[in-house]
Amino acid sequence: MENADAIMDEYYGEHIVTALIGITCDTAEIENVSRALVSYNNVEDVFLTTGDYDIFLKVKFLKYSDLKNFILNEISKLKGITKTETMMVVSTYKERGIKFE
């Protein structure tokens, strides 16, 4: 049986994998975490937010397995992060002010 990464990579095919990641972190580490996240090439946007998450990211990857690796092996190693929640983008209707038909 194929592993889940291969199935997801095949599902997305040549399409860019876009995800939104909500991050909760220790208040004392918010600035350090934000600065670290900005340095990743696949991170398009980093927002300091109010509400359930302290930081919100928009990320894009060529493959699902790259996204998974980023979450498990990059974000998880940053000091101060206590929780993440990843939401996969299913469809884009408007991005950066551009409407998609």
CA atoms within 13 A on the CB side of 78: 26
Rounded distance between C-alpha atoms, residue 8 and residue 32, angstroms: 32
How much is the pLDDT for 2?
57
- Please measure the distance between the N-terminal and C-terminal CA atoms of the chain and give it in whole angstroms: 37
Domains of the chain: 4-99 (3.30.70.920)
pLDDT surpasses 90 at 88: yes
Q: Among 11-15, 43-47, 78-82, whose mean pLDDT is lowest?
A: 11-15
- pTM of structure: 0.86
Give the residues across from 60 on adjacent strands: 18
pLDDT digits (tens, 9 = 90+) for 13-28: 678 899 999 999 999 9
| Residue whose C-alpha is closest to residue 28's, from 81, 69, 93, 92 | 81
Find out whether 55 and 97 touch, Cβ atoms under 8 Å: no
Question: Regarding predicted confidence, which is higher, 12 or 36?
Answer: 36
